[in-house]
Amino acid sequence: MSLKTGAKFYRRTDFKLTLWYILTFLISALIISGFLYLRLRHQLIKEVDRFLLDEIKELREILAKHPEEKHLLKDFENHIEARTLYPVFFKILTEKGDQFYTSKNFGMIGYVTGKDLLMKVKKGDEIRENFRPEGRRRPYRIITTLIPIPGYSGYIIHMGTHLKFVKKSLSNFKNNILITLPILIFLGSIGGWFLAKRSLSPISYITSKTKNITSKDLSERLIPRGTGDEMDELIHTINGMIMRLEDSFKRMAEFTADTSHELKTPICALRGEAEVLLSKARTIEEYQDALVHFLEEFDRMNKILNDLILLSKSDSAQMELKMSPLKLDYLLESLCNLFQVLSEQKNISFIVGPLEEVSVMGDKIRLQQLFTNLIDNAIKYTSVGSIHVSLEKNGDVALVKIKDTGIGIPKEEQENIFKRFYRVDRSRQTGGVGLGLSIAQWIVRAHHGKIEVDSEPNKGSTFTVSLPALKG
């Protein structure tokens, strides 16, 4: 394995997971073994202590009955000396600390009674200690206690035995752990590796599948395993993302095609007109008329381009709104004054009001553009009757209604009119390219509002814009 692939292997999640698994396993096994070792040690020493206390009890009975008779102590020593497996040895001191009787083998271990210990025992404490003679490996357990004798001053007894079997049991236990631990770790790592591999296998599938997905082919989808776990959730999320990307790529392609079409048509028409104009000599008036028409067409194309720039900026979130508190009634009143003239020219009555006093947080230029588009449409698509603009406050919402008695929009078309380049009937020949309502919808949404249409063919349309109103 090369160094490079080796490094890659160490960075792999399944390797890291297995490593963590082994580490956790090892630490838990060590903690549990340590705990069991201490429990066993404690239990074994408790047993030894119980055994020593039994002997002390026996000695106490002898001393209580015959406090001065050392030959009975000798008998006791002979009796316990016979035990080869658990030899016990003892030493008896008077309460003052003078030696009264010492069994033969007690002398051999070289235990010296400390002054502190004597003081504590005289106060009634029972001292249990482990003692290791210098230069020897074997430890001993010694219990020291006071035996009060009625009528006498009392005796201090050291009773001890070796801890050879305790040590042996503990060392056996340790060896067993050391033998089984590597086996457990080995089996644990295989299990850990298998689990890591199994739980990460969908990731390899996702990686290999998503590698094939490019902007040219977004039709590919990942297949969930149907387990309903996090991996399935991830697959659903990725599928959703690919679907949204596919949708926006499709819309982008349509948008580009529509844009090219909308701009190409007037450019071709203008070019044709210019060619006809230049085919023979014309009068000054004819040239002037043509230039006026050219200017109108340039203005129209300029408007389309501006709308397109605005929409593409809003798509890429580059369009920043300059928000400030605005009196919506003022804004509508001044806009309506401008449109009054236009509707008079078409012999349509323009009714304004009631305009309730309502303020909103908004971008003045964009809100003017929103209502201009709506009022402009109302005038464009109405030939007889009236236009009615009103504003009312409904709780926390400012409601602007633009009602006309124009040609109306068929029910099935109403949900499409906010789409880019969508025109209900291209033969209507109004000069629009179908961007006005998309821009209106974007502006309303950017102001956290809502735009709705209610319309009936040949009766008229009502566009209602709801915007969050400022308090007060």
Per CB under 6 A, residues contacting ligand ADP are 373, 377-378, 381, 404, 406-409, 417, 422-424, 428, 430, 432-438, 461
Q: How far is the CB of 455 from ligand ADP (least distance, A)?
A: 7
Judged by beta carbon, residue 160 or residue 460, the one nearer ligand ADP is 460
Q: How far is the CB of 382 from ligand ADP (least distance, A)?
A: 7
Q: How far is the CB of 340 from ligand ADP (least distance, A)?
A: 17
Q: How far is the CB of 341 from ligand ADP (least distance, A)?
A: 19
What does the angle CA 43 – CA 44 – CA 48 come to, to the nearest 5 degrees?
120
| Alpha-carbon span 151 to 153, nearest angstrom | 7
Q: How far is the CB of 383 from ligand ADP (least distance, A)?
A: 11
| Alpha-carbon span 311 to 316, nearest angstrom | 9
Judged by beta carbon, residue 25 or residue 418, the one nearer ligand ADP is 418
Q: How far is the CB of 5 from ligand ADP (least distance, A)?
A: 59
Judged by beta carbon, residue 119 or residue 269, the one nearer ligand ADP is 269
Judged by beta carbon, residue 368 or residue 373, the one nearer ligand ADP is 373
Residue nearest to ligand ADP (CB): 432
Tokens of 375: 């009022």
Judged by beta carbon, residue 434 or residue 449, the one nearer ligand ADP is 434
Judged by beta carbon, residue 288 or residue 383, the one nearer ligand ADP is 383
Contacts of 99 (CB under 8 A, 6+ apart): 91, 92, 93
A 10 A CB-CB count for 89 gives 24
| Alpha-carbon span 33 to 39, nearest angstrom | 10
Coil/strand/helix, residue 20 = helix
CA-wise closest residue to 385 among 466, 465, 464, 462: 462
Is residue 240 within a helix (H) or strand (E), and if so which, with residue range?
helix 230-278
Q: Which strands, in side-by-side order, build the sheet including 386-394?
A: 349-355, 386-394, 397-404, 460-468, 450-456
Q: How far is the CB of 251 from ligand ADP (least distance, A)?
A: 16
Judged by beta carbon, residue 155 or residue 381, the one nearer ligand ADP is 381
| Alpha-carbon span 367 to 371, nearest angstrom | 6
